[in-house]
């Protein structure tokens, strides 16, 4: 067992454990902090798999931006946190059905293909080569994704503004 595979299994254990801890927390802030740990582990795994640019992006966007956004929302909204029953029986049935179907398909894909049993080589895609590849072969997808981000920005702004205008109008009417 080489150092790389040792690191891989260590990171896998950290990611799975912290994700399970995140999913089973009652307190939302604790869940989000555990998930940040999980995403840091995924970033290190990306680095181990030869994608340093994606590792940096994972830390900056996932752990940095998205999780902090969640944290802001949780702190903005005062949730009654002790009322929720964890994993109620009624919702476990669809979860089990989804899980069984998914596990069957996943096992078929994972172990059915002979090419997946060979061990992975060591390779690194430098950010330079990666950027060159993306903009040479997938420039249209980059444009579409940037348009999608713009649409998401406008949509989020619209959803956030609607209520303020209404409350401002209501505030004008009442006095």
Site for another protein in 64-83 (CB under 8 A): 65-66, 69-70, 73-74, 76-77, 79
Q: Which of 50, 25, 51, 55 is nearest to 39 (CA)?
A: 55
Least separation in angstroms between CB 139 and another protein? 11
Q: Give just the sign of the alpha carbon dihedral 112, 45, 129, 147.
A: positive
Contacts with another protein: how many residues (CB under 8 A)? 87
Q: Does 92 bind another protein (CB under 8 A)?
A: yes
Least separation in angstroms between CB 4 and another protein? 4
Ramachandran area for residue 137 (φ above 0: left; ψ -120 to 50: alpha; else beta)? alpha
Residue 27 structure tokens: 């307190």
10, 20, 104, 108: residue in contact with another protein (rule CB under 8 A):
20
94, 170, 173, 174: residue in contact with another protein (rule CB under 8 A):
94
Pick 76 or 172: Cβ nearer another protein:
76
Q: Does 10 bind another protein (CB under 8 A)?
A: no
Residue 81 CB contacts under 8 Å (≥ 6 apart), including other chains: 26, 27, 28
Q: Does 108 bind another protein (CB under 8 A)?
A: no
CA distance 40 to 143: 28
Which strand (E) or helix (H) includes residue 139?
Answer: helix 139-173
Among positions 133-152, residues that touch another protein (CB under 8 A) are 133-134, 137-138, 141, 145, 148-149, 151-152
Q: Which of 53, 15, 54 is nearest to 37 (CA)?
A: 15
CB 45 within 8 A of CB 15: yes
Q: Does 14 bind another protein (CB under 8 A)?
A: no
10, 75, 120, 168: residue in contact with another protein (rule CB under 8 A):
120
Pick 39 or 175: Cβ nearer another protein:
39
Q: Does 50 bind another protein (CB under 8 A)?
A: yes
């Amino acid at each position: 067992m080489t150092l790389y595979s040792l690191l891989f299994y260590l990171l896998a254990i950290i990611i799975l454990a912290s994700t399970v801890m995140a999913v089973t927390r009652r307190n939302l802030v604790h869940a989000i902090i555990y998930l940040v740990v999980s995403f840091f582990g995924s970033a290190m795994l990306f680095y181990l798999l030869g994608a340093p640019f994606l590792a940096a992006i994972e830390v900056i966007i996932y752990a940095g931006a998205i999780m902090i956004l969640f944290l802001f929302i949780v702190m903005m909204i005062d949730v009654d946190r002790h009322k929720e029953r964890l994993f109620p029986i009624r919702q476990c049935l669809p979860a089990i059905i989804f899980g069984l179907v998914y596990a069957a398909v996943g096992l078929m894909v994972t172990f059915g293909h002979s090419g997946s049993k060979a061990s992975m080589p060591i390779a690194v895609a430098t950010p330079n080569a990666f950027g060159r590849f993306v903009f040479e072969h997938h420039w249209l997808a980059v444009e579409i994704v940037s348009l999608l981000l713009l649409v998401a920005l406008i949509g989020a702004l619209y959803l956030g503004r609607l209520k303020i205008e209404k409350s401002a109008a209501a505030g004008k009417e009442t006095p």
